[in-house]
Amino acid sequence: MYSKLFTALALLVASGNARAQTNCPAPALSVLRDNQPVPATGSALAPAVTLELKPNPQCPPEMRYQFTHAEVTLMRGIRPATPTLIAAKPELSLSAFMPLYQDGDWLYIFIPYKNLRVVGADGQAQPYTAPVTGADSNADNGIGFSWPLSRK
């Protein structure tokens, strides 16, 4: 009996896939312009920004996250003003939106949970386990950031 238990434990350790599961809430998505957070209250669109994933305050501060793809959409009212831009890295050029946006538009940046990765201490990225909430809304499918835009 002990030999089977020891063998199973040895296989888990050798595979490198054994990792602690946390009950951390989803990370927060923030948008940085010149290394400063974009205010959620609104501002002018910047030609280049950086997307940053920060652990929830209830989680260990050493938690790190990555994403494979983020969806960026310029919205006018409740409708997209442009096709969705797919971003594959944190540094994001928004220059294509610069001549198109108007006062009152907003930029919506969304990362589906399926595109989110938890980075372990060894640098290996593992798929993020989405929280189970039972509802069916964007908040339950990923994390987002809404940026109200103005020309001022």
Alpha carbons 50 and 25: distance in angstroms, whole number: 22
Please report whether residue 38 resides in a domain.
yes
Please report whether residue 11 resides in a domain.
no
> pTM of the prediction?
0.80
Query: Exposed (0-12), middle (13-18) or buried (19+): which is 148, by Cβ within 10 Å?
Result: middle
Count of structural domains, the chain: 1
Residue 27: count other Cβ atoms within 10 Å of its Cβ.
21
Please report whether residue 12 resides in a domain.
no
Identify the domain containing residue 57 by its residue range.
27-98+107-148
Please report whether residue 46 resides in a domain.
yes
Alpha carbons 142 and 16: distance in angstroms, whole number: 27
What's the chain's average pLDDT? 83
Output the pLDDT for position 139: 55
**Residue 56 · residue 116 · CB < 8 Å:** no
Please report whether residue 1 resides in a domain.
no
Please report whether residue 13 resides in a domain.
no
Helix (H, G, I), strand (E, B) or coil at 6: helix
- Which has more pLDDT, 151 or 95? 95
- In the predicted structure, residue 3 carries a pLDDT above the cut 70: no
Please report whether residue 70 resides in a domain.
yes
Please report whether residue 22 resides in a domain.
no
Helix (H, G, I), strand (E, B) or coil at 19: coil
* pLDDT, tens only, 52-100: 999 988 888 888 999 999 999 999 999 999 999 999 999 999 999 999 9
Paired residues of 129 in beta bridges: none
**Residue 110 · residue 143 · CB < 8 Å:** yes
